[in-house]
Amino acid sequence: MTKPVVNVANAQKVFGKKSENQFKALDNVSFTIEEGEFVGIMGPSGAGKTTLLNVVSTLDKATSGKIEIAGQDITDMKQNELADFRSEQLGFIFQDFNLLENLTVYENIALPLSLQGVSSRKIKPLVIEVAEKLGIKSVLQKYPVTISGGQKQRAAAARALVHEPAIILADEPTGALDSKNAHSLMRTMEQLNQFHDVSIMLVTHDPLSASYCERILFIQDGNLYKEIKKTGDKQHFHQQILNVLAELTSIHSL
Amino acid sequence: MLVKLLSSSMKKMWKDYLVLLFGLTISIAIFYMFETLAQNQAFLEANALISSIVFVFHVGTFILALVTIFYIFYATSFILSLRQKELGMYMTLGAKKGKVTQMMFLETLIIGIFSLIIGLVFGVGLSEGIARLLMSRLDFSGEGFEAFYPSSLVTTILFYFVLFLLTAIVNAIRVARKSVLELLHADQKADTKTIKGWKTFLGTLIAIVLITVGYVAMINMGDLAHLGVLIAAATVTPGTYFFFMAMLPFLIKRIKAIRSINEKGLNSFTYAQLNFRVSQLTKVLGTVTMLIALGLGAMTAGLSFYHNTEIHSSLMHGYDIKVHQPTEDELAEMKNWELEERNLYSYRVTDDGVYFSKHDLQANPPVIKEIGGNLEELSKEVRLTDDLTAPVYTDEETDDAESIPEQWQTALRTELMANFYLFGDRTLYILDQEKFEEINASTQTVLIGKVDNFTDYTDTLAKIDERHHQLAIDYTGEDPTMIGSKYESYTSLKSLANGTIFMGLFLGVAFLMMMASVLMFKLLSSATADIERYQMLRKIGVRQAKLKISIYKELFLVFLFPGLIGLVHVLIGMEMFSFILIEPYTKLWIPISLFLVIYGLYYWLTVKMYQRIVLPKD
Ligand SMILES: Nc1ncnc2c1ncn2[C@@H]1O[C@H](COP(=O)(O)OP(=O)(O)O)[C@@H](O)[C@H]1O
Ligand SMILES: [Mg+2]
């Protein structure tokens, strides 16, 4: 746990053109995520969580600042380099599942490998391995509409994992799940992190989901507000999180 | 309340509704356009080279109606796909099923009637515009053609009204049969039905049998006549749809099943795009194929009639050029022509006779055309022999002289143009040198010749014919209605063919326009769903270039199959005309390469447009 997998320095993101009224969604945010860490990003709605994740995930460009992932500076990369970088180094899980509904679960999971030119002979064992890990082996031949929300999110996780990216980025992955499925998905992510050394950056506004993380960054109006580390057990961490959120809302209501 | 909701949501999705209206409007306009010709019997009969043209148009109406039914059912199912989620939402809010069903029914019907009104206005305008354009291009007066034709209007209204009523009922039934949840989640539903092996086999078998029967009927059109046209229409059309229903899903499935292909790059996605709504796709592709076949067929047939006028006019005339009493200027001009054969014959004209020198005729015996029993044998060219032994021959019934042998009569009357138009009722004679010199008149000459490319010289030949008319006035005292030259029969055949060409091009343009609009509709109606998919792929790191290639590939297959099968239909279909056209395949490459270029361009344009819709600008 020494090499940083994500290194964000003074990241700014301003929406709107110069001439129009501009909106600063990120204001000088700096932080690092070490290899193998499970970091949560929390904050009230509109705080800039998704913006931060998009900037880190190269889907959006920071207005200024420097962002390194797996030792590579992504701020100056071209569109094509970014696309290649995403397909090799990053894994995504979004709130609304983001599975291609015209592909079977198997094809969805296999897609990142196909895109990297992995031969179909090698693809199958890899897909099956990751599907087993996530407990969705039985639905591999089904289409996304025919499986449950929890299974969909696991399939999305499997797709994010299958090509062994440097980090998995998840934006509200439990947002559309009931609490049972949400717990089960978070437990799986925790296991991936603990037993398979997968680095994870998780955006969530759900304290229960967040309590699975090792460290949490709170952001507020585009600024880093506070950082807490898990010291005790999950219950304790959950309480800590709730306390910080209470602080945040009280500031807001002032 | 529901009506209010309905109109407000229609406003929200106006773009999608615009796409739908566009698709329906074009279909209605084209159907009407076709009917302006099909129901104008007087115009058809006056202007077509095909005797049973009215019948052919009846069959055309039948095919077009069939194709339209498939298309309209496909297009109106788009309304359902646009609205069902919302309808499901109303039901969760407490709207009754009956009410929602009624809404769907009314909406489909209203959209139908609305597009019917626009479509008819558009159709009248389009008929007028295209007809005008073609008439001026073809130098064709087109008398009797009416862009606003009431009976066609009535037919179109009736046909579409019934069709929209039916589709409204179908849409309503579909809504009624679905549960709230099914409605809510309908937009994600794939119809990648697992088609049973035996069904594919049966479908393919039916397709092959139907198309084969149709082809055989078309090839034997000469014997089957009307029955053949009916058989071909009733087999090839459903056969084509069967082909796409059975073969296409099967083919894509097969390709997808080959893992080394499917799991290469973006292929799994590209084929999934084709596979996903395969039943809609089969309707589109079947319709497009038939429209290509009809459009390209109409154009090719029209142009084929045009190119056959040259061949037709050669049927009667052994020589391309026939000049009585050529002037110095004409002789000088003709020196530059590459004549394959050039014969000069002397003759003298008196008040009651035209006398040819046997000597000249025997020195260079001309050829004549002998018409075979049917068109397939064409006419044979026969070179006459110098078997004229008697001193005097005449075409008058007399005991004094032998009568001119039949072949020689043809030679003189047709090839040497010693005919009634030019010389009136003068008697024809062939005299030996001695008798010829005794005739008290000056010696004239007639020049006949063959050229390689007859149509290159039409300008000069027109002038020569004008002089022939003057000559006829001098000899007979009146201007004849015709003169009997090859140029003359060429121009009159061509003006006759113009009517047929007009119809061919008019319909060709109409059908190909509808084909383009059907493809466009397919594209635009699936674009909204595709935007999300391409976004997703971009997020997980697919290069823009790869996405572009995937679009090229997907649309290539969408364009390839209808283009290919449509083309085969046309190639075989042209056989139908072999009983009225001498060489139906003459210059076939012209309309076909024209089509390929336009189709290819349209493909490219479609790809570009689609890429603009679903991919962000780089
Ligand atoms: N493309 C955009 N253009 C303008 N403003 C945006 C854009 N995306 C997000 N914002 C604004 O930036 C702020 C942060 O948004 P976001 O990062 O989505 O918040 P959240 O923390 O809820 O994920 C919000 O106020 C939002 O309105
Ligand atoms: Mg967000």
CB contact under 8 A, A100 and B537: yes
Chain A residues whose CB is inside 8 A of the B540 CB are 86-87, 92, 111-112, 115, 159
Q: How far apart are CA B380 and CA B376, in angstroms?
A: 11
Q: pLDDT tens per residue, chain A (254 residues)?
A: 467 899 999 999 998 877 777 888 999 899 999 999 999 999 888 889 999 999 998 888 889 999 999 888 998 888 888 888 888 889 988 877 678 888 899 999 998 898 888 888 899 999 999 999 888 999 999 988 888 888 998 899 899 989 889 899 999 988 888 888 889 889 988 988 998 888 999 999 889 999 999 999 999 988 998 899 988 888 899 999 999 988 887 776 55
List residues of chain B with CB under 8 Å from any CB of chain A: 185, 188-190, 192, 259-260, 262-269, 272-273, 275-276, 533, 536-546, 618
| Closest residue of chain B to A105, computed from CA coordinates | B268
Contact A80 B272 (CB under 8 A): no
* Contact (CB, 8 A) for B64 and B34: yes
pLDDT at B293: 94
- Provide CB contacts within 8 A for A236, sequence distance 6+: none
Nearest to A102 among B185, B272, B544 (CB): B272
> By percentage, how much of chain B surpasses pLDDT 70?
94
Q: Domains of chain A by range and CATH?
A: 4-253 (3.40.50.300)
Distance A175 CA to ligand 1 centre (A): 17
Q: Check: CB of residue A50 under 8 Å from CB of residue A203.
A: yes
> How many Å apart are CA B202 and CA B459, to the nearest integer?
60
Determine the Cα–Cα distance for residues B421 and B183; give it in Å rounded to an integer.
Answer: 81
Angle in degrees, CA B32, B37, B40, rounded to 5: 115
Hey, of B192, B263, B277, which one would you mutate to test binding to chain A, going by the most A CBs within 10 A of its CB? B263
What ipTM was predicted for this assembly? 0.80
End-to-end CA distance of chain B: 45
Provide CB contacts within 8 A for A139, sequence distance 6+: A105, A147, A151, A155
Query: Min CA distance, A228 vs chain B (Å)?
Result: 30
Confidence (pLDDT) at A205: 87
- All residues of chain A having their beta carbon less than 8 Å from the beta carbon of residue B184 are none
User: Nearest Cβ partner of A87 from B276, B540, B544?
Assistant: B540
The beta-carbon neighbor of B272 closest among A98, A107, A123 is A107
pLDDT tens column, B406-446: 889 888 888 999 998 999 889 999 998 888 999 899 999 99
Mutate to test the interface with A, among B543, B548, B617, B618 (most CBs of A within 10 A): B543
Question: What gap in Å lies between CA A111 and CA A118, rounded to an integer?
Answer: 10
Give dist(CA B518, CA B64) in Å, integer.
13
Q: Whose CA is nearest to atom 20 of ligand 1?
A: A46
A contacts of B538 (beta carbons < 8 Å): 83
Displacement of CA A114 from its chain's centroid (Å)? 22
Helices B278-316 & B544-573 angle (0-180, nearest 10): 40
Residues with CB under 6 A from ligand 1: A 15, 23, 25, 43, 45-51
Instruction: Give the distance from residue B182's alpha carbon to the nearest chain A alpha carbon, in angstroms.
Output: 11
Which-ligand-closest: CA of A171? 2
Cα angle for residues B53, B54, B59 (degrees, 5° grid): 95
Short-list A127, A133, A113, A128, CA closest to A189: A133
Nearest CA in chain B to A87: B541
Residues A139 and A156 sit within 8 Å (Cβ to Cβ): no
* Residue in B273, B538, B545 nearest the CB of A102: B273
β-bridge partners, A66: A9
* E strand or H helix that includes residue B314: helix B278-316
- How would you class B496 by CB atoms within 10 Å of its CB: exposed for 0-12, middle for 13-18, buried for 19 or more? middle
User: What is the DSSP annotation of B270-283?
Assistant: HHHHHHHTHHHHHH
Best A101, A122, A148, A167 member to test B by mutation, with max B CBs in 10 Å, is A101
User: Most B CBs within 10 Å: which of A95, A115, A148, A159, as the mutation test of the B interface?
Assistant: A115
Residues of chain B with pLDDT under 70: 1-6, 9-10, 49-51, 186-196, 372-378, 386, 618
Closest CB to A100 among B260, B265, B533:
B533
Q: Which atom of ligand 1 is the closest one to the Cα of A49?
A: 21
Assign 3-state DSSP to chain B and report helix, strand, coil percentages, each to 5. Answer: 75, 10, 20
The model's pLDDT over B168-208, given as tens digits with 9 standing for 90+, comes to: 999 999 888 887 777 777 655 555 555 667 888 888 899 99
Residues of B in contact with A103 (CB under 8 A): 268-269, 272
Nearest-CA distance from B138 to chain A in Å? Answer: 50
Q: Two tokens at A82?
A: 């970014």
Residues 40-99 of A with CB under 8 A from B: 57, 59, 79-80, 82-88, 90, 92, 94, 98
SS3 B370: strand
What digits encode the pLDDT tens for the residues B140-154? 888 888 899 999 999
- The single-letter code of the amino acid at A149 is G
In degrees, rounded to 5, the angle at the alpha carbon of residue B450 between the alpha carbons of residues B446 and B455 is 110
Residue nearest to atom 12 of ligand 1 (CA): A25
- Nearest chain A CA: its distance from B281 CA (Å): 14
Tokens representing A124? 């199958």
How is residue A29 written in tokens? 């945010």
For residue B42 the two structure tokens come to 């007087």
B8 to B51, B86, B408: CA distances (angstroms) = 55, 12, 86
**Closest Cα in chain B, distance from residue A59 (Å):** 7
DSSP A146-184: GS-HHHHHHHHHHHHHTT--SEEEEESTTTTS-HHHHHH
Q: How far is CA A187 from CA A134, A171, A231, B28, B295, in A?
A: 10, 16, 18, 59, 62
- Give one word for B447, left, alpha or beta, with left for phi > 0 and alpha for psi -120 to 50: beta
Written in H, E and C, the secondary structure of B518-561 is HHHHHHHHHHHHHHHHHHHHHHCCCCHHHHHHHHHHHHHHHHHH
Contact between A110 and B275 using a beta-carbon 8 Å cutoff: no
Cβ–Cβ below 8 Å for A111 and B262: no
Contact assessment for residue B526 and residue B558, using Cβ atoms and an 8 Å cutoff: no
Does the distance separating the beta carbons of A80 and B545 come in below 8 Å? yes
The token duo for B448 is 């006949």
Structure tokens of B465? 């014919």
Ligand 1 centroid to residue A217 C-alpha, Å? 18
Residues around ion ligand 2, judged by CB within 5 A, are A 50
Query: What separation in Å is there between the alpha carbon of A16 and the centre of ligand 1?
Result: 11
Strands A90-93 and A167-171: parallel
pLDDT of residue B400: 77
Nearest alpha-carbon partner for B361 in B410, B423, B427, B421? B410
Contact A123 B618 (CB under 8 A): no
